[in-house]
Structure 1
Amino acid sequence: MHIVIAHFGTHYVGNPGGVEKVICQFSNEMIRRGHAVTILYRDYCEGNPYFPLDSRVVQNNILFQHGKKIISEKLPVGLRVLREIVRVFSKSGGQELNARFKGRQYGMQIQKYLAENPADVVLSCSVPSTKYVIDDAHCTAPVIQMMHSHPRYLFPRMSKAEKEAVGKCRVLQILLPSGLKTAKEFFPNLPVKVIGNPVYLPVKEAHPGDAKEKHLISCVGSLTKNKQQQLLCKAFARLAADYPDWNVELWGYSGSFGRSIQAWADKHSLSDRIFIKGKTTHVEEVYARSDIFCLPSRAEGWGLGLTEAMAAGVPAVGFKGCTGVEDLIQDGITGLLAENGDVDSLATALRSLMNDASKRKIMGQQAAESMKQYAPEKIWNEWEALLKDVIAGKK
């Protein structure tokens, strides 16, 4: 089968994001299984993803033709100003304006590519991508909506045009059972399939219960307001004096939010205890050195770094009420859940694990065991079966 992956919602080239990692893993596996895979994307340049990708996967930037950029990825200045004005009164309204204009730009190029390279099935990585493919490119191949955000977080923010486009998909895939209720509320007539992300066995295992000269609390993921790494730093500040052999490392794309955290650490004389490390292609080394993994996000579709750390045997800490985190951490078994957004509660959870090496070891072992339900072979089998059913018209 020829699988076309539509990735028009975020940057693609060199982007170390979770969506891009899953797309590359998916593409590599389907190529290995004998299928043809094309990734259609949009970005300001042509190039390769951050993560390893089989050379047989076709990549095509719809904004370029024969190496020359023919379409801008940005709205004209006037429309950008109008969009921001509309957003003041309606976030979905601003999103709708964005989607409609970009759809007119992108639709013709997507349609042209699919006419020359027919797809058996299109896998859309974002809601805007679905609109561009179905409504603007008039795609006749079956489309599967692949969700990377949690429905509870994303669906209420959709524009009317985006909601209508998703409703025309053949199947809606979501990552976690907790998203089923919202998915059915928004799309009562659309088949919904729960398929989690694959969690690969670690190259190296962590040893969170071992005696060490230095212990580590790690957090892996882009430094953003949503992931709230500043709350981890503030919680650690309450503990640092009592635990001089513990440090914090924040890994991932940094930017302005990372700089603000660095300034905070400098101001509170914690720059020798809290380290902003940036991106890495050897994240397994981080997990192997970790004694606790903390993801203090307000919302996640799926905590990818979280599941990778847990698979390595690291006990995890996150917030109750955070989608994509509380679904994966079993409170008191594979880690601890603090009260949502509460720095004192987060500090208490961290202290509980920092105090008890035996607890860290047992919870880490249970975390690794819990991730076996997302074994790659199982996840890819589910995906392949879904793709075949959709093509055959069984879905």
Structure 2
Amino acid sequence: MNITIAHFGTYYVGMSGGVEKVTCQFANAMIKRGHHVTILYRDSREGSPYFYLDPNVKQHNILFEKGKQIISDKLPFPLRICREIARLFSQKAAQAINARYKGMQYGKSIKKYLDSHPTDIIISCSAPSTKYTITDAHCQIPVIQMIHADPEIQFPDFSAAEKNAISQCKAMQILTAKGLSFAQAMFPSLPITVIGNPIEPAPEIKTTYEEQIICSVGNLCPRKNQEFLVKAFEKLHSDFPDWTLELWGGNSSHYGKKVKAYIQNHQLEQYVKICGKTQNVNDVYLHSSILAIPSISEGFPLAVGEAMAVGLPVIGLKACGGVNSLVKNNITGYLTDNTLSDYILALRKLMSDTKLRQKLGQQGYKDIQQYAPNTIWNKWEQLMLSIVNN
């Protein structure tokens, strides 16, 4: 098959997010299976993704032609003002302004590329990507909508134009069965398939749980809720003075600066470390004893799956979709209420008991095997072939 991945919803070059990681994993896997893969992306610069990409994967920036940017990725200033005013009242209205103007800009470039490059199927990474491809580029090639977030959180913010475009897809993929009924209610005529993200086998599994380190992996942002974790750890510090908390991920946002300021203002620098990005996340899990992920919402949290594949117990919020699909309370970790007291109690249990950390971590390692890459890529390949063959 000739597979094209449409990645127009966010930036692409050097981005270390979950969508970009899955995009690269998907492309690499399909190349190994003998397919031809192209990633169509939009970015203000040309370049490579943050994650490893097989050199046989083709990449094309729709904003560039012959090394020169010919389309702006930003709205004109008056429209940006209108969008931000609209955002105060409705996320949908703000997205609609984005989608309408950018669609006029991007559609022609997408169509030009697809018209001159044979493609059997398109995998769309986002709702805006689908709108630009189907509505603005007038694409007749079958499209599968890939969903990276919890449908109950993400779908209500779809604009009418995005919903209309998605309804014209041939299929939709969601990450967990918990989102199935909500997705079906919003898109009743669209075939919806549950396929999780692949969790690569860890090169090394934990054998000791003596390390007095809690890790949290993910870009610092309000949705990931790291300040909540820092406050919980602060309450435990006097009882566990030898323990440290490591926050791994991008930290250049306003929220990241806020978390850093809290750590400094409460004299926690020696015990709470903001560590930045890493290409060796397995090493982070190996030298830790607990993964704490206080996210408010997730689609399919790769950090949780990767930590479980190493053998780490996980503490998350029971109301967080994605986390509550992977973590089994009292079996592979703890799912708590969204209160500091409940989260502190769970942390205390694991910080106090080495054998408990080992027991829950090893059960997590067993559970996560259902997301082995071959299992996931087989499902994707079967889905694509069923659409192309029909």
| TM-score normalised by L of structure 2 | 0.98
Out of 257, 262, 276, the position equivalent to 1:278 is: 276
Distance 2:18 2:155 in 1: 19
Alignment of 1:162-181 (within 5 A): 162-181=162-181
Identity of counterpart residues, as a percentage?
A: 50
Secondary structure of 2:144's aligned partner? strand
Paired position in structure 2 for 1:246? 243
Secondary structure of 2:335's aligned partner? strand
Paired position in structure 2 for 1:352? 349
Distance 2:321 2:27 in 1: 26
Secondary structure of 1:22's aligned partner? helix
Distance 1:51 1:217 in 2: 25
Are 2:242 and 1:231 equivalent residues in the alignment? no
Query: Per-residue displacement from partner, 1:207-255 (whole Å, max 9, x unpaired)?
Result: 453x34xx11001110000000011100000101111121000000001
Distance 2:207 2:217 in 1: 18
> Are the aligned partners of 1:208 and 1:292 in contact in 2 as well (CA < 8 Å)?
no
Distance 1:169 1:55 in 2: 29
Secondary structure of 1:327's aligned partner? helix
Secondary structure of 2:325's aligned partner? coil
Secondary structure of 2:238's aligned partner? helix
Paired position in structure 1 for 2:264? 266
Paired position in structure 1 for 2:381? 384
Paired position in structure 1 for 2:196? 196
Paired position in structure 2 for 1:19? 19
Distance 1:24 1:124 in 2: 13
Alignment of 1:129-148 (within 5 A): 129-148=129-148
Paired position in structure 2 for 1:183? 183
Query: Per-residue displacement from partner, 1:51-93 (whole Å, max 9, x unpaired)?
Result: 1101110000000000000001010000000111222222211
Distance 2:84 2:147 in 1: 26
Amino acid at match of 2:379: E
Instruction: Give the C-alpha shift of residue 181 in structure 1.
Output: 1.0
Distance 1:204 1:260 in 2: 35
Mean Cα displacement is larger for which, 199-208 or 288-297? 199-208
Distance 1:322 1:113 in 2: 39
Secondary structure of 1:250's aligned partner? strand
> Are the aligned partners of 1:207 and 1:291 in contact in 2 as well (CA < 8 Å)?
no
Q: Report how many aligned residue pairs link the two structures.
A: 389
Secondary structure of 1:277's aligned partner? strand
Secondary structure of 1:11's aligned partner? coil
Name the CA shift for 1:378/1:123 in 2 (closer, same or farther; >3 Å). Answer: same
Paired position in structure 1 for 2:74? 74
Instruction: Give the C-alpha shift of residue 7 in structure 1.
Output: 0.1
Query: Per-residue displacement from partner, 1:327-362 (whole Å, max 9, x unpaired)?
Result: 11100000001102x111111110011111111000
Secondary structure of 2:220's aligned partner? coil
RMSD of aligned Cα (Å)? 0.8
Paired position in structure 2 for 1:89? 89
Paired position in structure 2 for 1:34? 34
Query: Per-residue displacement from partner, 1:266-302 (whole Å, max 9, x unpaired)?
Result: 1111110000000011111001111000110100011
Extract unaligned runs of 5+ from structure 1: none
> Are the aligned partners of 1:208 and 1:360 in contact in 2 as well (CA < 8 Å)?
no
Distance 1:186 1:208 in 2: 47
> Are the aligned partners of 1:208 and 1:314 in contact in 2 as well (CA < 8 Å)?
no
Paired position in structure 2 for 1:338? 336
Amino acid at match of 1:369: K
Query: Per-residue displacement from partner, 1:96-142 (whole Å, max 9, x unpaired)?
Result: 11101100000000000000002100000000000000000011110
Distance 2:148 2:207 in 1: 30
Paired position in structure 1 for 2:322? 324
Paired position in structure 2 for 1:218? 215
Distance 1:134 1:186 in 2: 19
> Are the aligned partners of 1:221 and 1:252 in contact in 2 as well (CA < 8 Å)?
yes
| TM-score normalised by L of structure 1 | 0.97
Instruction: Give the C-alpha shift of residue 6 in structure 1.
Output: 0.1
Name the CA shift for 1:87/1:257 in 2 (closer, same or farther; >3 Å). Answer: closer
Secondary structure of 1:60's aligned partner? strand
Are 2:273 and 1:292 equivalent residues in the alignment? no
Secondary structure of 2:145's aligned partner? strand
Amino acid at match of 1:375: A
Name the CA shift for 1:157/1:59 in 2 (closer, same or farther; >3 Å). Answer: same
